Amino acid sequence: MTRTMNWPLLLSSARFGETQGTLDVETGRTPFHKDYDRIIFSSAFRRLDRKTQVHPLSENDHVHTRLTHSLEVASVGRSLGTSVGHALVKNLPPHMNASDVGALVQAACLAHDIGNPPYGHTGEDAIRHWFRAAENAHFLDGLSDLEKADLQTFEGNAQGFRLVTQVEVNRFAGGMRLTYGTLGAFLKYPWTVDYVQRGEAKKFGCYQSELPILRNVAKRLGLIELKKDYWARHPLVYLLEAADDICYGLIDLEDGIEMGLLRYQEVEDLLKPLLAEQWEQVCAELEQADNQRRRLQTLRGLAMEVMVNSVSRAFVRNEQALLAGTLKGDLIDYCRQEVHDVVNAAKDMARERIFRDTRKLAVEIGSYSTLGTLLEAFLSAVRERVLDGQATFRNQRVLELMGRSAPQPGWTLYEAYMRAIDFISGMTDNYAAQIARQFSGYQPPGRGL
């Protein structure tokens, strides 16, 4: 008998971390709207404004940060969720409608990058690189193999799950206390690092420290356990990933034009196949734009609409495979050929022309030194406190910077390390650079002669 998930469980509005039931009965504001509000008003989300999206520490105000990217992905996700909700309305729980599905996907999308460290994906690699370096091997003494793997394979997705369920708001008492439905749609990789170690997955979504929480979430949502501690993904995760792909595919190119790395005509030519059937009407709309930036915005909006409609139809066509946990690849793979080709071509263009910009590469190279300096200082301090029960004067000052994240009596070394990682990964690009400079030897501002 084929196992399958069901929508009433998958769309649960019960809240993780709340023991006395939900009080989310409020006219015009569903539990999923409250999830969105909890995320957008959090300190962790606000800090995304000063975290790298593609171009680190850019001085161009029109270039995206992690915050503006997350807002745009959430907007596209709402459109996708609402469209799918209309198509599946007969399968929804009685208390839900299509817009509720849209609000759920929107909230999950809003949080999808919330665990990213300073300097984006380069920051992730810098943390991994530091823990894998031979000269830092002694920091891993006393940890289990999987605990070591968590650190050596630092993953922004797993950090995000830890943040929303543990670190932010209600610290280690439910975190943001989001609904199970939103947590499910947020969990892109509902398994732990051991499957990455075995070569069975490229990424993972949960550290050892949050494994009991993942098991709880999976049980409450009725996710199918395909292997031990490895679950089929929530169907709405596929909408989150599609929204992210759509925004990356179009917005990276828009940023490329802003940075002078691409020409407008190149982007128009790339997107034209999506709009071929209505190109005459598209040209008429483009002619109304009074500058290149507005022309690009118009083109991007029309292309997004085509992509959203195609992804929504692909989801509905593959609903049964999604509920059975058997769909291979991404929803973009099941869209009309023009959508699939444009997304892949946009990624290729960004990879070749944008991601290799020398201004970007120079900052990324420097991020390894920045994060290395921070990891050395904070992990030395917490390790000394845990193993010796005290700290030198210097390390005591480092621990004071950590505030409530500093190790407490009875903590394990792994727990103390994870709190240090919470503190470092939560930094903005600017703050990380500032603290690293001060740790390397503070120099007061020069005085005029």
Task: Give the per-residue SS3 of 224-271.
Answer: CEEECCEECCCCCHHHHHHHHHHHHHHHHHHHHHHCCCCCHHHHHHHH
pLDDT at 449: 37
pLDDT of residue 62: 53
Per-domain residue ranges of the chain: 9-231, 238-354, 358-439
The pLDDT score that the predictor gives to residue 1 is: 54
Pick the CATH number of 238-354 from 1.10.3410.10, 1.10.1740.10, 3.40.109.10, 3.40.50.300: 1.10.3410.10
Are the C-beta atoms of 226 and 232 separated by less than 8 Å? Answer: yes
Whether the Cβ atoms of residue 35 and residue 24 lie closer than 8 Å to each other? no
Q: Is the pLDDT of residue 56 over 60?
A: no
| 8-state DSSP, 165 | I
pLDDT (tens digit per residue) in 61-116: 456 678 888 999 999 999 999 999 999 888 888 888 999 999 999 999 999 999 99
The CATH architecture annotation of domain 358-439 reads Orthogonal Bundle (1.10)
More confident residue, 227 or 295: 227
Rounded to whole angstroms, how far apart are CA atoms 356 and 362?
10
What pLDDT does 252 receive?
A: 76
Q: CA 113 to CA 98: how far, in whole Å?
A: 25
Structure tokens at 57: 């520490």
Q: Which residue has the higher pLDDT, 346 or 357?
A: 346
- Residue 216's pLDDT band, with cuts at 50, 70 and 90, is very high
In the block, tokens 């406190």 appear at 385
Average pLDDT, the chain: 88
CB hemisphere CA count around 304 (13 angstroms):
22
User: Would you list the DSSP string of 386-445?
Assistant: HHHSS--HHHHHHHHHHGGGS--TT--HHHHHHHHHHHHHTS-HHHHHHHHHHHTT--PP
The one-character DSSP state at 59 is S
pLDDT at res. 377 = 94
Q: Which residues pair with 206 in a beta bridge?
A: none
Does the pLDDT at position 57 exceed 70? no
111: phi then psi, degrees, rounded to nearest 5: -95, 0
Whether residue 242 contacts residue 308, with contact meaning beta carbons closer than 8 Å, is answered with no
pLDDT at 419 over 90: yes
Classify 143 in phi/psi space as left (phi over 0), alpha (psi -120 to 50) or beta.
Answer: beta
Whether pLDDT at 442 is above 70: no
Out of 59-63, 138-142, 270-274, 301-305, pick the least confident.
Answer: 59-63
Percent over 90 (pLDDT), the chain = 60
Q: What pLDDT does 25 receive? A: 52
Q: How confident is the model at residue 140, as a pLDDT?
A: 95
CA distances from 81 to 97, 239, 416 (A): 11, 7, 39
Residue 14, number of CB atoms within 10 A of its CB: 13
Reading the block at residue 118, the tokens are 């300073």
The secondary structure of the chain in percent helix, strand, coil, rounded to multiples of 5, reads 65, 5, 30
Band the pLDDT of 443: cuts 50, 70, 90. low
Point out which residues pair with 68 in neighbouring strands.
Answer: none
For 448, which DSSP code?
Answer: P
pLDDT range class, residue 447, cuts 50, 70, 90 = very low
The CATH architecture that domain 9-231 belongs to is Orthogonal Bundle (1.10)
CA 120 remoteness from chain centre? 10
pLDDT band for position 357 (50/70/90)? low
pLDDT band for 292, please (50, 70, 90 cuts): confident
- pLDDT for the residue 20: 58
Mean pLDDT of the region 229-255? 90
> In angstroms, how far is CA 316 from the centroid of its own chain?
25
pLDDT of residue 279: 87
pLDDT of 143: 95
| Structure confidence at residue 254 as a pLDDT band (50, 70, 90) | confident
